[in-house]
Copies of this chain bind each other. A is one copy, B any other.
Amino acid sequence: MCCCTMDAAEFRRRGREMVDFVADYLENIEQRPVYPDLEPGYLRSLIPTEAPLEPENYEDIIKDVERVIMPGVTHWHSPYFFAYFPAASSYPAMLADMLCGAIGCIGFSWAASPACTELETVMLDWLGKMLQLPEHFIAGTHGHGGGVIQGTASEATLMSLLAARCKAIRRVHASIPENSEADILSKLVAYTSEQAHSSVERAALIGGVMMRKVPTDNSYAVRGDMLKKIVEEDKAAGLIPFYFCATLGTTPSCAFDHITELGPLCNEENMWMHIDAAYAGSAFICPEFRPLLNGVEFADSFNFNPHKWLLVNFDCSAMWVKKRADIIGAFKMEPLYLKHENQESGLVTDYRHWQIPLGRRFRSLKMWFVFRLYGLKGLQAHIRKQVDLAKEFESLVRADKRFEICAEVIMGLVCFRLKGSNELNQNLLKRITESREIHLVPCQLSGRFVLRFAICARSTESRHIQQAWRHITQLTFELLQEPNH
């Protein structure tokens, strides 16, 4: 008995139609307004209040995609989307995702699907080699490290902080056994840049440890002496520094903490150094950007998001640890229903010990398809093209004396503003958002309200940059014409 009219034959038909729908959507995406024009709560009135009792027609559902869904979509893959950071999208990744859905394994352990686990380990090695990571991060070596796909950078940060917490508690407890775990926990202190992503602070909140923000220099980067000063103060106050999260490519301005200074300090102080390069990490596959990663050899863990800038559709956050045992040891649970005969072998990885969730999809297929169908050269070309587009936008801004660039443009992000008040810039952004021709979001740098222009979509070309700038200057002209300016 089949409970649904959608059998394999019908799937062949509807699947083909969906492939065309997807291709049509992406080929014509720039004709849609990039940002939706509707009020919160719009959707509820457009659909029934309850699920249907009987099956509906497929045609009705597909019609509703245009009627109900599309008007409420912020089109992240429009060439006019310049907000946040890019969300990766490529046809090879979409094909791999279809295969992933069909296999539909839940790869929490090696036995639950060996291919799922093993391809992941090898893909993380491939990617680690593209980045020229130190050998101790590569699983297929004599080192003790390896890589894993996390869902997001937030989870990678949390995992590293929890592993560091566990290690610190054990170390302190071993040297001063009269200290209770609760005592030690209450004295642990983690650090990150005042420019770090909010998820870092959130990880400390979840882990129940203090977190202190380290001030940055003129380039919004943390230097060694700044961290050293705070660590010394905290140690003098009886606290136990145990973790530092460095950022390579901060969210507000794409600044780079000086890990060659920070790494040795963390190693000396027995502090776990995690590097969050969520956005910028992809660029390290290009030799000209790789020097920014120098110092990674001091890190205990490193993470970046191929799902941001390396054409692997969300979710795919790549994380490496120097010592597998550190991360596994913090969480290992072994109920009988998850045991399998091979797990004591040194060759086996049970990734469920490496992450917060138990279940996991076969995400390494996306990496495999993308890496092979682009090749390293193709991926490098994608990064370079987007950096060039950012430089092109930067030149346009610099040529207009009404504007200023607010942070060095190193990769695909341009931080800029109108010379003048924060209010003026808030007004400009409001007009941009309301016009819905391009989409971007603000940030705050040294107390100033700044516009972030990030090269996001794979389809963005020079003509879209030029058009975006014409649009911004037109809105600026109108804004500055108003009597109150």
A6 in contact with B92 (CB, 8 Å): yes
B113 in contact with A76 (CB, 8 Å): yes
With a cutoff of 8 Å between Cβ atoms, the chain B residues found around residue A313 in the complex are 101, 104
- Of the listed stretches A199-207, A296-304, A404-412, chain B binds A199-207
Is A226 at the interface (CB under 8 A from chain B)? no
With a cutoff of 8 Å between Cβ atoms, the chain B residues found around residue A10 in the complex are 91
The answer to whether residues A374 and B4 also contact, given A22-B15, A87-B106, A347-B41 and a CB cut-off of 8 A, is yes
Is A444 at the interface (CB under 8 A from chain B)? yes
B4 in contact with A373 (CB, 8 Å): yes
With a cutoff of 8 Å between Cβ atoms, the chain B residues found around residue A480 in the complex are none
The answer to whether residues A102 and B25 also contact, given A11-B91, A140-B44 and a CB cut-off of 8 A, is yes
- Of the listed stretches A178-186, A228-236, A320-328, A471-479, chain B binds A178-186
With a cutoff of 8 Å between Cβ atoms, the chain B residues found around residue A338 in the complex are 198, 441
A94 in contact with B4 (CB, 8 Å): no
A198 in contact with B11 (CB, 8 Å): no
The residue in chain B whose Cβ has the minimal distance to the Cβ of A105 is B76
Is A403 at the interface (CB under 8 A from chain B)? no
Is A294 at the interface (CB under 8 A from chain B)? no
Is A252 at the interface (CB under 8 A from chain B)? yes
| Number of A residues, CB within 8 Å of B | 161
With a cutoff of 8 Å between Cβ atoms, the chain B residues found around residue A336 in the complex are 252, 442-444, 449
Is A172 at the interface (CB under 8 A from chain B)? no
- Of the listed stretches A115-123, A217-225, A264-272, A390-398, chain B binds A115-123
The answer to whether residues A373 and B56 also contact, given A18-B98, A99-B21 and a CB cut-off of 8 A, is yes
The answer to whether residues A113 and B49 also contact, given A98-B19, A119-B43, A198-B335 and a CB cut-off of 8 A, is no
Checking B26, B51, B376 against A372 with a beta-carbon cut-off of 8 angstroms, the contacting residue is: B51
Bound CA–CA A59/B152 (angstroms): 31
A122 in contact with B44 (CB, 8 Å): yes
Bound CA–CA A102/B76 (angstroms): 10
B345 in contact with A4 (CB, 8 Å): no
A-B contact pairs, 15 of them (CB 8 A): A4-B373, A8-B23, A22-B102, A25-B103, A43-B119, A49-B129, A50-B129, A55-B372, A69-B115, A97-B101, A151-B359, A202-B333, A252-B337, A336-B443, A337-B443
